[in-house]
Amino acid sequence: MSYVGPDFDPHQPRRSRRPRALTVAAAALVPGALLGWMVYEAVGGPGDAAARPSAAESSSTPTTSSTNDDKPPGPTPTADSTSASVSGSGSLRGKVVVIDPGHNPNNFQHTAEINRKVNIGTNWKECDTTGTSTNDGYTEAQFTLDVAHRTRTLLEKQGATVEFTQDGDRPWGPCIDERAEIGNKAKADAVVSIHADGAGTGQRGFHVILPAKVNEGAADTGPIVTPSRDLGERIAGSFVRATSSTPSNYVGDGTGLVTRKDLGGLNLSTVPKVFIECGNMRDSKDAAMLASDAWRQRAAQGISEGIVSFLRG
């Protein structure tokens, strides 16, 4: 989803990946939740995650990947932040989770409506767009709904109340401001917006987008910055374990975490919220993963485990 469109700007030039020798050294020093991946990368690389067993807001013609205008200076996810697994029926009773599947699959039939601009607090952006797709035509909207359904099933088994911002059950939208409002009105304990990226070939991996501290117009993210980072770190760590995916090699400096202040879905939220870009649909290797039924189940497992860990505290 991260290309020119609502809440997105063209990304900065791609950074070179660190040499593997540095990765090995970092693995000895960084006690993050991505440590396991770093060691794995050092000894052999990720390969095609779709073939491995589980270890645990935009335009219809995507051409650029996401801007990282606020690199996350904070800590990488910690090992403790990913230790909880999804188990124990009823353990989330009383908790409310809102899942925001990025892009309504019917948006392409309602271009006038989704191009209408809405106030995101700090700026005006398009209501929504169609999302991206793989070269074979598998759409981001299809992907996000599928993973959202799987995630809901896992969370409901834990007793959580799960609400969607849309389920392909409305002609278009909702707009990005309404998406935020749905989570706010639900007084959600956690909100996760599920997406897949539309970056260039060779740009691979997932990243979790965290809200920056913004206090302008209708936006005041101060109260949610810290809990949202906690939520995002836990999801990033568990996503690595569940899918064996690697953190993005084009944003986030290898942490899998990106902080942004230009997203209405985050700026307007009053409850803890993050976005996750599960992979890059425009890269053939990532696309193969995203189109895999088994991999999507593991993605849902990783997202749900991170949410469970966050809600249990």
Distance CA 46, CA 40 (A): 7
Which pLDDT value is given to residue 245?
96
Residue 47 lies in a domain: no
Residue 153 lies in a domain: yes
Count up the domains in the chain and report the number. Answer: 1
* Residue reference for tokens 């770190």: 233
Reported as a single tens digit per residue, the pLDDT across 234-293 is: 999 999 999 999 999 999 999 999 999 999 999 999 999 999 999 999 999 999 999 999
Catalytic residue, chosen from 126, 140, 277, 305, is: 277
Residue 30 lies in a domain: no
Q: For residue 120, is pLDDT > 60?
A: yes
pLDDT band (50, 70, 90) for residue 303? very high
What is the percent of the chain where pLDDT is above 90?
68
Which pLDDT value is given to residue 305?
98
Reported as a single tens digit per residue, the pLDDT across 38-80 is: 433 433 343 343 433 333 343 333 333 333 333 333 334 443 4
Q: Which amino acid is at 17?
A: R
Which domain covers residue 180, as residue numbers?
74-312
pLDDT band (50, 70, 90) for residue 122? confident
Token duo for residue 313: 């505290």
- Please compute the mean of the pLDDT values over residues 174-188 and round it to a whole number: 97
pLDDT band (50, 70, 90) for residue 1? low
Q: For residue 10, is pLDDT > 50?
A: no
Residue 26 lies in a domain: no
Sequential DSSP letters for the chain: --SSBTTB-BPPPPPPPPPHHHHHHHHHH--BTTHHHHHHHHHT----GGGSPP-----SS----B--SB---SPPPBSGGG---S-STTTTTT-EEEEEESS-TTGGG-HHHHHSEEE-SSSEEES-----B-TT--BHHHHHHHHHHHHHHHHHHTT-EEEES--S-SSS---HHHHHHHHHHTT-SEEEEEEEE---TT---BEEEEE---EETTEE-HHHHHHHHHHHHHHHHHHHHHH-PPBPSSSGGGSSEEEES--HHHHT-SS-EEEEEEEETTSHHHHHHHT-HHHHHHHHHHHHHHHHHHHH-
Tell me whether residue 277 is one of the annotated catalytic residues: yes
Residue 249 lies in a domain: yes
Contact (Cβ atoms closer than 8 angstroms) between residue 7 and residue 57: yes
Residue 22 lies in a domain: no
Reported as a single tens digit per residue, the pLDDT across 123-135 is: 899 999 999 999 9
Instruction: Note if the pTM is more than 0.85.
Output: no
Higher pLDDT among residues 281 and 34, named by residue: 281
Residue 12 lies in a domain: no
CATH of the domain at 126: 3.40.630.40
Q: Which amino acid is at 241?
A: R
- Please compute the mean of the pLDDT values over residues 184-212 and round it to a whole number: 98
Question: Cβ–Cβ contacts within 10 Å for residue 105, how many?
Answer: 18
In 3D space, the residue among 21, 62, 64, 70 whose CA is nearest the CA of residue 43 turns out to be 21
Which pLDDT value is given to residue 171?
94
Which pLDDT value is given to residue 88?
52
Residue 31 lies in a domain: no
Distance CA 284, CA 290 (A): 10
Weakest-pLDDT range from 3-7, 147-151, 246-250:
3-7
> For 47-56, b where at least 16 C-beta lie within 10 A, e where not — what string?
eebbebebeb
